[in-house]
């Protein structure tokens, strides 16, 4: 069972809190040690300063030298103690006998603690010891007069007071630590919200899944995809694009390269600069023709990159030709079916009205006409698909009140390759459809299709009595999207030329610009009969 993952916000808060807490605890430990040392040092310095001050006092020295005047020591130390707020100031002679004390009853008795011996030997020092006033920090300073030690001073500060100062410092540090932790938690929460907003509320696991799905989709699509950033550097190339680039002889790994350096013929950097898309554009990559769509990537009204999707134009042409051929063939069959239904309606009407003699004559004409038409076509065109297609076109022409004549100057054998049949259906179908449309406003509506097979070459001629084409139109008629019939047209003759070139043939157009247009097509055509010879 997969363990449930924490939310991004929870993870960020926990991690930030852990980092902040660890940092604050470490800081607390270091600062606490520093503060403890600082407070202790301050207390020691205060005690030493007071003891040194007392040791330099003339009153203290006088009282030690002249025992009968020792009372002035008690009075002096009492004033100093009140001003400095120390616990006690004890002046002793060289025998350790107190000359001053906060408790006057203890004056004249020996100093308690045992740590006074060092100072009586002439060394200043600080110690912690327990005396009559409890445990305290003591500073000892020897008293000299004319170079001879005559006594010592002990200044004490209770450890309880020192500990209170240390505890107060530690509490201040802890307050800062808690405040810092709260700020860290709030900062982590705001950071998690900001990150979630940037990620559109998605969790890392969801982002990882989307990335995997994106990569899978990009690599599985049949179109080539190339993306660039705002600096025209290539950031994405899918598998299909790499195959096309490899076919064109370009380097295998273009990631990170400038798009115009990798592929000079591109216009993707232009799209990036202008921010305008380009649709269904042709591009030549070292002889490989591709059909390209280029679109800028816009985020917050700023162009942050561009993406190009493309396919090998050869594949697009093949697909278009196949679809066009199927459509043309289907239209021919529909016309035949429609013509047949019309004749059935005529027959049904004659039967109901009892015109049996006229019915017999009508059926006889249909049979004779069909026998002649079908026999003529099937006898000369040996490819069943092409023959059926031509009969369909005859029916379509009759529906449009156009006289269509199929003239076979020689027998047309069945082609050795099926692709030739598909190509011919596209070529002949679009040429006839183009002529039918051209005759829509003509009084005389005649189309002639001449077929001739000789020396592995098939000659095709389509002639109509339409209004003709001007010289300017003749030059552009095979261009994609060009049409004299309005917008969203101009693909039929374009596909005708593509199919002719694919079969290795050539096409020409002749027109007087008035009442005649003639298309001449010649393609290599290897028949099955020739293959057996």
User: Dihedral of the CA atoms 50, 53, 59, 61 (nearest 10)?
Assistant: 110
How many other CB atoms are there within 10 angstroms of residue 244's CB atom? Answer: 18
How many other CB atoms are there within 10 angstroms of residue 187's CB atom? Answer: 15
Select from 515, 498, 379, 334 the least CA-distant residue to 430: 498
Any idea where the domains of the chain sit in the sequence? 9-165, 221-312, 355-532
For residue 140, the model assigns a pLDDT of 92
Along the 533 residues of the chain, how does pLDDT read in single tens digits? 455 666 766 777 777 778 777 777 777 777 767 766 777 778 888 888 888 988 888 888 888 888 888 888 888 888 888 888 788 888 988 888 888 888 888 888 888 878 888 888 888 988 887 777 777 788 999 999 888 888 999 998 877 766 676 677 667 777 777 787 788 778 777 877 777 777 766 666 666 677 676 666 666 677 888 888 888 888 888 888 888 888 878 877 788 888 888 888 788 888 888 888 888 787 888 777 777 888 888 877 888 888 888 877 665 555 555 555 555 555 555 655 665 666 666 677 777 777 667 767 766 666 555 555 666 777 888 888 788 778 778 777 877 888 888 888 888 898 888 778 888 888 888 888 888 888 877 888 888 999 999 888 999 999 988 887 777 777 777 777 666 655 545 567 888 888 888 888 999 888 876 778 888 999 999 887 643 44
**Do 9-165 and 221-312 agree at the fold level?**
yes
Q: How far from 152 is each of 93, 111, 158, 417, 520, CA to CA, in Å?
A: 6, 11, 20, 127, 134
Instruction: Name the strands in the sheet holding 234-237, side by side, starting at the edge strand that comes first in the sequence.
Output: 234-237, 224-229, 302-312, 288-299, 278-285
- The answer to whether domain 355-532 has CATH 3.20.80.10 is no
How many other CB atoms are there within 10 angstroms of residue 247's CB atom? Answer: 14
> Using one digit for the tens of pLDDT, what is the confidence trace for 22-36?
777 777 777 767 766
- Asked whether 55 and 212 are in contact (CB, 8 A), the reply is no
Q: Which CATH superfamily is domain 9-165 in?
A: PAS domain (3.30.450.20)
Select from 73, 135, 123 the least CA-distant residue to 98: 73
Class of domain 221-312: alpha beta
H-helix segments, 8-68: 8-56, 58-65
How far apart, in whole angstroms, are the C-alpha atoms of residue 281 and residue 271? 12
* Phi and psi, residue 130, nearest 5°: -105, 130
């Amino acid at each position: 069972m997969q363990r449930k993952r924490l939310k991004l916000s929870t993870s960020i808060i926990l991690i930030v809190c852990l980092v902040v807490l660890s940092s604050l605890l470490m800081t607390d430990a270091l600062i606490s040690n520093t503060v403890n040392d600082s407070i202790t040092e301050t207390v020691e310095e205060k005690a030493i300063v007071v003891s040194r001050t007392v040791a330099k006092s003339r009153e203290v020295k006088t009282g030690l030298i002249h025992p009968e005047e020792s009372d002035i020591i008690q009075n002096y130390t009492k004033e100093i103690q009140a001003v400095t707020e120390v616990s006690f100031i004890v002046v002793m002679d060289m025998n350790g006998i107190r000359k001053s004390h906060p408790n006057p009853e203890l004056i004249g008795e020996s100093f308690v603690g045992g740590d006074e011996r060092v100072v009586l030997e002439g060394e200043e020092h600080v110690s912690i010891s327990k005396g009559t006033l409890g445990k305290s920090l003591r500073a000892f300073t020897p008293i000299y007069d004319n170079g001879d030690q005559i006594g010592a001073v002990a200044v004490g500060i209770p450890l309880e007071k020192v500990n209170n100062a240390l505890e107060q410092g530690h509490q201040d540090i802890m307050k800062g630590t808690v405040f810092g932790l709260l700020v860290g938690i709030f900062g982590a929460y705001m950071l998690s919200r900001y990150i979630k907003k940037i990620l559109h509320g998605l969790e890392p696991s969801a982002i990882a899944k989307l990335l995997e799905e994106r990569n899978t989709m990009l690599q599985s699509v049949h179109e080539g995809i190339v993306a660039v950033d705002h600096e025209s550097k290539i950031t994405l190339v899918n598998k299909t694009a790499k195959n096309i680039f490899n076919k064109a002889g370009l380097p295998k790994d273009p990631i990170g390269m400038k798009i115009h350096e990798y592929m000079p013929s591109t216009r993707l950097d232009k799209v990036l600069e202008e921010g305008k898309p380009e649709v269904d554009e042709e591009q030549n990559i070292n002889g490989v023709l591709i059909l390209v769509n280029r679109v800028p990537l816009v985020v917050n009204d700023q162009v942050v990159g561009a993406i190009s999707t493309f396919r090998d134009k050869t594949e697009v042409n093949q697909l278009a030709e196949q679809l066009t051929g199927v459509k043309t063939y289907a239209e021919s069959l529909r016309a035949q079916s429609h013509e047949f239904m019309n004749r059935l309606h005529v027959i049904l009407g004659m039967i109901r009205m009892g015109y049996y003699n006229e019915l017999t004559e009508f059926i006889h004409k249909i049979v004779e006409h069909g026998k002649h038409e079908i026999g003529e076509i099937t006898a000369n065109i040996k490819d069943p698909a092409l023959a059926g297609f031509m009969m369909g076109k005859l029916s379509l022409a009759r529906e449009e009140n156009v006289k269509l004549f199929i003239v076979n100057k020689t027998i047309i054998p069945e082609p050795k390759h099926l692709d030739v049949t598909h190509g011919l259906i596209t070529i002949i179908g679009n040429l006839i459809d183009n002529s039918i449309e051209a005759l829509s406003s003509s009084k005389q509506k005649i189309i002639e299709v001449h077929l001739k097979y000789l020396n592995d070459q098939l000659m095709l001629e389509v002639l109509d009595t339409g209004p003709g084409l001007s010289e300017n139109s003749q030059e552009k008629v095979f261009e994609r999207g060009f049409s004299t019939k309005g917008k969203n047209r101009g693909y039929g003759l374009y596909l005708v030329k593509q199919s002719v070139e694919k079969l290795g043939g050539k096409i020409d157009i002749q027109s007087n610009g008035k009442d005649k247009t003639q298309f001449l097509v010649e393609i290599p055509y290897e028949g099955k009969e020739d293959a057996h010879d």
